[in-house]
Structure formats: structure tokens, C-alpha cells
A and B are shown apart, each in its own frame.
Chain A
Amino acid sequence: MKTLLNHLAAPVIAASALLSSCAKDPVKNLTDEESRIYITNYDSTASFGSFKTYSISDSVAVVSDGALKKKSLNETYAVFIQAVKDNMQQRGYQLVDKSAQPDIGINISEVVNSYTGVISYPSYWGYYDAYWDPYYWGYGGYNYYFPYASYAVYSIREGALSIDMVDLKDAGTDKQIKGIWNGLIRGSGIFDSKTAASQVNALFEQSPYIKASAN
């Protein structure tokens, strides 16, 4: 069993100059696919089987240096959105318009930092209503709440793709919309229409609990 260090949060610790001059970069020959990591978190108390319908935003939010830059749709974003729809359908969920009171709302965001900054669950999801105003889902004035936002700090310099599912069915209690699942993709070559679908598939494959009940 490989020993896995708890380290996604830590900045890269530079080896001494002597060692780094001796060592070749151990990961310089990774392919784009090998460079990517797929991270999923979910609310363990959420009952995915109790949801039946979902709606997904028709554009992707570009969040740059912590601020919403734009919402847009291009060929690659369209592939990401379609791949989420395909996976949700396979898991037994029905796509509806956001005005039809869906049980689950899904947003996709591209996260970009131009500096080596720390992107943390608390700071990214803490400003989530600036990227995806709950008014969009018909819950103006509500706040988001992400139960897995208390841990996980990433040092992000490159682009990342974040897919968030929120529970709209139970929104209203405490005027809060709860996040129930996050899929995060980090690494090289993410925004490529040829590989976008397989990346989304990887997130869903490691999330077998996302499944509507049969009846």
C-alpha cells in the first residue's frame, strides 16, 4: 500500500540547489492526461437517490484571481456541459429547465489564477454567490453553504475546472442552498474539446453515489 502524503495544500518545497541541479525533473515526461488530477468531494448526508430532476447552466463562469470575469460558451465549454448531461442521464436524472423547479442545480466554472495563489474552499466557495447568484435558480437573497468547505486548500497557479452541484429541492430552510458535490480538475491540457468528455467521465466514475433511485 503506497504511503500517501497529505500534501495537496502545501506549496512546492524546493529541494536544495545542489539536489535540484543533480536531479532531473521527475515529472517532466508526464503526458497531459497523466499530469491531471481529479478531486471529488460530496456531502455525505445528502440523499442523491431522493433527487429526480436537475438543471445545468448553459454557460461556464470564468473566475479569474477570485473575481467573476465573464460567463461564456465556446466549443470546449459546450463539450463539458454536454458530458455532465450525459452522465446525469445515465445516472437516472431528468434534465429540466431551471424554471421547472429542479431538484439539483449544476454550475461549471473555469478557475484561473495569474499568480501562485492559494485557492481554498472557504475563499472560492465563500464568494460563490458572486459567480453564481442564487437568483439564477429562483432563490434571490439566499446564500450558498458548502459542508466540505472547511478543509482543502490548494495552491493554484494554473487553470482548474470546477463542477458544483447544489441542492435546490431542500433550499428554503435557513435561506441556504447547500452544495452537495464538487468535482475539480487540475493539471495540464484541461480545456481541450477532445478530452473534455473523458475528464468529466472520470469525475463521475469516482462518484458512484450520484444515482437516482429506480422508482
Chain B
Amino acid sequence: MKSFKIILPVTVTFVFLVTADYAQQGRMYMNINYGLNMPTGSFQSDVVSKASYLNWNANILYGLSGRFSAGLQTGYNSFKEKFPRALYNTKEGTVSAVLTNAVQAIPVLAKVRYNLSTSGIIQPYVGAGVGGNLVSFNQYLGEFSSGKTGLYFAASPEAGLFVPFGKQSASGITIGAHYNYMPFKYGDINNLNNWGVYAGLKFPLR
């Protein structure tokens, strides 16, 4: 009796887990997130030192198996900082100016995500995206700008949590963090690497 009672919950759980494992397979999901990003390294010391509150990302992922999904991700990142008037020695002479650096990026990444858990209140995942960034960098001296726009390599590992709305719900909240490798070459600038945190919604498309 006792052993039967023990076996039953295990069996039920096992069936539930198996069901959940295959729950996402063959389904398409969309994630939309709002994010906060922070420059790192030389991006922070030489270009923009402040956090950006103007970021979003969205992806559509197709469940290849219960745990693996793959798809495409895009988004938008915007960094800006205005510095107090200062003197700069340039080739054109000594310039007194209010300097503003502005960086915008639109990533387009091939993305994979692995769900470490497919049931429970909190379901962690890890993922990675690889692709390209359309980057626009502008530096303003006063109202006068110069800069560069181009397509650059992008890579972005991430980790996060999915919190479903309900026990059987395929929709829920996602919270995560990612690191963005953004190589970029202009003058002395070699990269615009940054990390970010995001929160948003996940929901099935079909």
C-alpha cells in the first residue's frame, strides 16, 4: 500500500514532467522584453559611462524539443551621455565644446535557448545569440556631429528565469541578464560591449 502510494505520485510526476518536456516542442513562442543596459570596459571609460534605460528585445523561438528552442531575436539599444563644456586639442585647433556621445544598435541574432527546467514556479534557462548589430555612433561637439554607421558582429550569452502565469500556462514573465559583445571600430574605439538586465512577457504564438 505504502509503496503503491509512493509510486503513484512519482509516476504522476514523471508523466507530468514528460508531458511538460514535450510541451514546447513544435510550438512557437514570442518573448518581448524591456531592458536596462550598462556599458563596460572602454565603452564605459571612453564613450558613455551611464546606464541606458532605452532598450528592448524581442524574439520568436521554435521549440525543437522539450528544452531546446531556436529562432531569431532583434531589439534596440540606445546609449547617450552629454559632458560639460571642456577644451579639446584637435587637428583643427583648440576646441571648446559640449561633447555628446550617442550610440544606437539594432541586433539581429540567431538565437538558441535551453530550459534548465520545464516545470515549476520558476524555470531557469540559458541561451545565446549570434549575428550582427547595425550600429550608429555619433559624436557631437556642440550641435556639430560626425560618426559612423555600419554592420558589425554581435554575440550575446544570456541567463534568465521564466515564471509561468499558471501551472499549465505557456505564457508568463521572463526576467534575465545578458552580456553583449559588440565589436566596433572607429578611431580609438574598439568595442561597445555592455551588459543588461531585462524583464518581459513570453507567450505562445500558436
Contact = CB atoms under 8 A, between A and B. Distances in A.
B47 A3 contact: yes
Contacts of B143: 27, 30, 35, 187-188
A85 interface: no
A22 to B, nearest CB: 6
Main secondary structure, interface of A, reads loop
A4 interface: yes
Contacts of A187: 142-144
Contacts of A151: 91-92
Nearest to B149: A15
A39 interface: yes
Nearest to A40: B94
Contacts of A23: 78, 102, 104, 136
A15 B136 contact: yes
Contact of A8 (B82, B87, B99, B141): B141
Interface string B32-70: 000000000000011100000000000000000000000
B96 to A, nearest CB: 4
Contacts of B189: 3
Interface in B90-121: 90-102, 104, 106
A2 interface: yes
Contacts of B148: 13
A59 B128 CA distance: 67
Interface residues of B, number: 44
Q: How large is the interface on A (under 10, 10 to 19, 20 to 34, 35 or more residues)?
A: 35 or more
A116 B70 CA distance: 49
B95 A26 contact: no
Nearest to B96: A38
Contact of A6 (B90, B104, B106): B90
A15 B134 CA distance: 10
A129 to B, nearest CB: 22
Contacts of A99: none
A37 B147 contact: no
Contacts of A26: 80, 82, 100, 102, 138, 140
B146 A13 contact: yes
A214 interface: no
B6 to A, nearest CB: 58
A98 interface: no
B16 interface: no
A30 B98 contact: yes
Top 9 nearest A-B pairs (CB, nearest first) are A7-B146, A26-B102, A15-B136, A41-B93, A35-B143, A38-B96, A37-B142, A3-B46, A152-B92
Interface of A: 1-10, 12-16, 18-20, 22-23, 26-27, 30, 34-41, 148, 151-152, 154, 182, 184, 186-188, 202, 206-207
